[in-house]
A = this chain, B = another copy of it.
Amino acid sequence: MAMASRALAAWRQLGLVALLPHLLLLLDAAGARQCFWPGQAPEDPGCLSWRVMVEANNARGWRTVPAQCVGYVKGYMTRGQYLRDLAGVMEQASGYADQIAAGAGADPDGLDAWVFDIDDTCLSNLPYYETKQFGAYDPSAFKAWASKEACQGIPPVLGLFMALLDKGFKVFLLSGRDEETLGPCTAGNLEAEGFFGYERLIMRTPEYRGQSSSVFKSAMRKQLVDEGYRIRGNVGDQWSDLQGDCAGDRVFKIPNPMYFVP
């Protein structure tokens, strides 16, 4: 994933992004698909039910992955199904963006906006959560991990991000990460993984410390709407990214069975 993502970032710099869909098709046709989709995660029926409940927002407020599903979640995240699911969601988002860009509703005033969450939306924290065995959230350990700037970009999300910029959307990155302590390393990590050209990186300021992600993100989105932006799409791995005020005309839930943010 790291290699794919760094390659994407390099291509971006070389202006070769337009070739990407063709290459993916070629890889597929050549049977190289197995390298990227290395097989199916073992679908324990109880853990599959649980995972689907998480994605449908039926299971809320959970603090850790159920003990009997830790191995399942690891398999899901690393053995292909996660990337397959993610690619499907990005395809839906891309199709929807095409409609806006091509439709009568498209407005060349530069105010069509798109919001992305960062953690486990643009950048992957899978290695961190694996080392923690998907245990309870630990703010200081997470901060230490994030400070390393070692998060890998998530290729299908970078693909959508770049396609949206190409179509003329203004992209906003909206993260509950603390701006004061993690601002520069987050910006650096994003840049290194190919996420550049966005309009604004919005992170948690001191006044929102201790507030829920949902409250903070609603306030930030409302501010964008007050500035005149139309939030056409919103992509996040948590339902708290996608609900509340000014959530966007359409929201896209990226799979995440690793943790729950209220």
Looking at A24-32, A41-49, A218-226, the stretch in contact with chain B turns out to be: A41-49
Task: Tell me if A45 and B80 are in contact (CB < 8 A).
Answer: yes
Please tell me if A106 contacts chain B, counting CB pairs below 8 Å. Answer: no
Say which size band chain A's interface belongs to.
20 to 34
Chain copies in the assembled complex: 2
User: What 0/1 readout, one digit per residue, does chain A (34-67) give for beta carbons within 8 Å of chain B?
Assistant: 0001001001011011111101111110000000
Instruction: For A51, give the chain B residue with the smallest CB separation.
Output: B52
Instruction: For A57, give the chain B residue with the smallest CB separation.
Output: B253
Task: Tell me if B84 and A53 are in contact (CB < 8 A).
Answer: no
Looking at A85-93, A145-153, A182-190, the stretch in contact with chain B turns out to be: A85-93
Known: A43-B40, A43-B43, A81-B48. A56 touches B253 (CB 8 A): yes
Please tell me if A252 contacts chain B, counting CB pairs below 8 Å. Answer: yes
Per the bound structure, the CA–CA distance linking A222 and B81 in Å amounts to 40
Please tell me if A255 contacts chain B, counting CB pairs below 8 Å. Answer: yes
Instruction: For A53, give the chain B residue with the smallest CB separation.
Output: B88
Per the bound structure, the CA–CA distance linking A45 and B37 in Å amounts to 10
Tell me, rounded to whole Å, the shortest Cβ–Cβ distance linking A140 to chain B.
Answer: 31
Task: Tell me if B58 and A252 are in contact (CB < 8 A).
Answer: yes
Instruction: Report A's interface with B, CB cutoff 8 A.
Output: 37, 40, 43, 45-46, 48-53, 55-60, 80-81, 84-85, 87-89, 92, 250-253, 255
16 sampled A-B residue pairs with Cβ under 8 A: A43-B43, A43-B48, A49-B85, A50-B88, A52-B52, A52-B55, A52-B255, A53-B92, A56-B56, A56-B57, A56-B253, A56-B255, A57-B251, A57-B253, A58-B88, A58-B252
| Besides A46-B84, A52-B255, 15 other A-B contacts (C-beta < 8 A) | A40-B45, A43-B48, A48-B85, A49-B88, A52-B52, A52-B85, A53-B89, A53-B92, A56-B253, A56-B255, A58-B88, A58-B89, A58-B252, A59-B92, A60-B250
